[in-house]
A and B are shown apart, each in its own frame.
Chain A
Amino acid sequence: MYSDKVMDHFTNPRNVGEIPNADGVGEVGNARCGDIMKMWIKVENNVITDIKFKTFGCGAAIATSSMITELAIGKTVEEAEKITNQQVAEALEGLPPLKMHCSNLAAEALGAAIADYRSRTATTA
């Protein structure tokens, strides 16, 4: 039911882990629905230089988390926050229809990390 690309990211997820001194951390989802994504970003000169994730969830949740880290790295904060869940799904060569809504949260997780980064830079500025 999953594409080869999804299975590739599920079996070999990229950028799993935490960033100890992250510039932004975001978490979305809840245990009730079975998907929680947490994302850490490192930002230098407005560019995302490192990104890591941890995810509790199904195959789609893990694969979308992994895929967005690949899409976001090297992008400016503004470019990165424009990434949509739809783009993540397309980069994975599609997701089963049921998974499009419940487990396709990676853009929200990245968005939450960027929002956290912005709030931190706003207070230090």
Chain B
Amino acid sequence: MKRIYMDHAATTAVRPEVLEAMLPYFSTEFGNPSSVYSWGRSARKALDSARDQVAALLGASASEIVFTSGGSEGANLAIKGVAWADQNRGKHIITSAIEHHAVLDTVLWLETQGFEVTILPVDEYGLVSPSQVEQALRPDTILVSIMHANNEVGTIQPISEIGAIVRRHGARFHTDAVQTAGVLELNVDALNVDLLSISAHKFYGPKGVGALYVRKGVRLSPLIHGGGQEKRRRAGTENTAGIVGLAKAFELAQRDRIAENQRLTALRDRLIEGLVKIPHTRVNGSLEQRLPNNVNVCFEYIEGESMLLNLDLRGIAASSGSACTSGSLDPSHVLLAMGLSHEIAHGSLRLTLGRENTEADVDFVLQEIPGIVERLRAMSPLYQE
């Protein structure tokens, strides 16, 4: 059976060029970058060059890049790191209702530790309003964290505008750019951000490695103590192979992004157009401010997991915001924040396109989905023809 992977927002396959760049650092060039002899120097050189590469792609300086274990650590380090370092200046933190749990749960944990938290609502498209950020800012606000683009519905936030407002008020601004790295231009000055986190496995790099940009002058308490690595911001022997892979994958993704975005946008729109032909189907998120690879729809009267199981039986990999797939009793917090009812949110389907997807894949998916929806609706007590 042909398999079609349409869950690129979850993870992606490592590109062959990336794997090839990584391989020597598992074997012949295995040295510890902190060692003085030749093995160590070789690893150090690779690390420095990866850091230069990532910094250049972000419009930053090498000293402003901290390598991490991925997006979740990046968000934790940015948020807890600033909160702990700046708590004498204030204890108020602002974020949005549609953040990834790596941000949301971190902020909510800080609330239990004596910080005050404002969680901003979003509109029906999942957009955060810059004026609401401005209204929420207080003299004791130390940090604002708003994601660059949402992982479920693909809505792209006005980060540059929000960043300018936050800067005027003297707070730090973090953006979770895990979904936009390799997709949008990421210039930290243009975006007006102080901190920005990315994760390699979302752009055809390896899992277990990410990077956090930390603007010069931003104080950060480390999460991990125990060594001088990453300028004392993250102890532990560096994941040299992973970091080399991240830099290579990031470079390739940024190089290819304009042409690839055009291709994906056409596939995305073809997919959306085909899906909305199914009765009682709604598109979630903004049609304008949207990632080029994201499709998110709700099929009323059916539940997401049963949809995913049926797709899997036909070789199609997708995801859903239903409770069964969110790991809690509630469906997606993102869809609920956008005003969808629980019942409708349970029937969401996310298809995220990527490098290996073709128009034939899109057409195959469009051929399979209507029958699955019809069959599940036929056994749904909510559906009346």
Chain A interface residues toward B at CB < 8 A: 2, 7, 10-11, 13, 16, 27, 31-38, 53-62, 98-99, 102-103
Contacts and interface: CB of A to CB of B under 8 A. Distances in A.
A34 B379 contact: no
Contacts of B327: 98
B197 interface: no
Given A31-B346, A34-B346, A56 B380 contact: yes
Contact of B309 (A10, A16, A56): A10
A60 B302 CA distance: 14
A31 B192 CA distance: 42
B322 interface: yes
B301 A56 contact: yes
B305 A58 contact: yes
B329 interface: yes
A31 B383 CA distance: 12
A65 B309 CA distance: 17
B380 A55 contact: yes
B379 A62 contact: yes
Interface in B293-339: 301-306, 309, 313, 322-324, 327, 329, 331
8 contacts: A10-B309, A31-B341, A32-B342, A36-B382, A56-B303, A56-B382, A58-B306, A102-B329
B379 A31 contact: no
Given A27-B381, A36-B382, A56 B302 contact: yes
B1 to A, nearest CB: 15
Contact of B378 (A16, A36, A59, A102): A16
Give 6 nearest A-B pairs by CB, closest first.
Answer: A31-B343, A58-B305, A38-B381, A54-B381, A58-B324, A34-B346
Contacts of A56: 301-303, 380-382
B261 to A, nearest CB: 35
B175 to A, nearest CB: 32
A7 B378 CA distance: 18
A34 B303 contact: yes
A61 B303 contact: yes
- Residue among B306, B327, B342 with the highest chain A CB neighbour number at 10 A: B306
A73 to B, nearest CB: 18
Contacts of B305: 58-59
A1 B302 CA distance: 21
A10 to B, nearest CB: 6
- Residue among A33, A53, A56, A61 with the highest chain B CB neighbour number at 10 A: A56
A53 to B, nearest CB: 8
A114 to B, nearest CB: 18
A13 B379 contact: yes
Given A55-B379, A55-B381, A56-B382, A34 B306 contact: no
Interface in B149-179: none
Contacts of B304: 58
Contacts of B324: 34, 58-60, 98-99, 102-103
A70 B257 CA distance: 54
A34 B323 contact: yes
Contacts of A2: 309
A58 B379 contact: no
A7 B329 CA distance: 22
Contacts of B313: 11
B245 to A, nearest CB: 30
Nearest to A37: B381
A54 B381 CA distance: 5
B306 A10 contact: yes
Contacts of A61: 303, 306
B342 A31 contact: yes
Given A32-B343, A34-B342, A58 B322 contact: yes
Interface string B358-384: 000000000000000000001111100
Contacts of A103: 324
Contacts of B329: 33, 102
Nearest to A102: B329
A31 B381 CA distance: 11
A40 B296 CA distance: 35
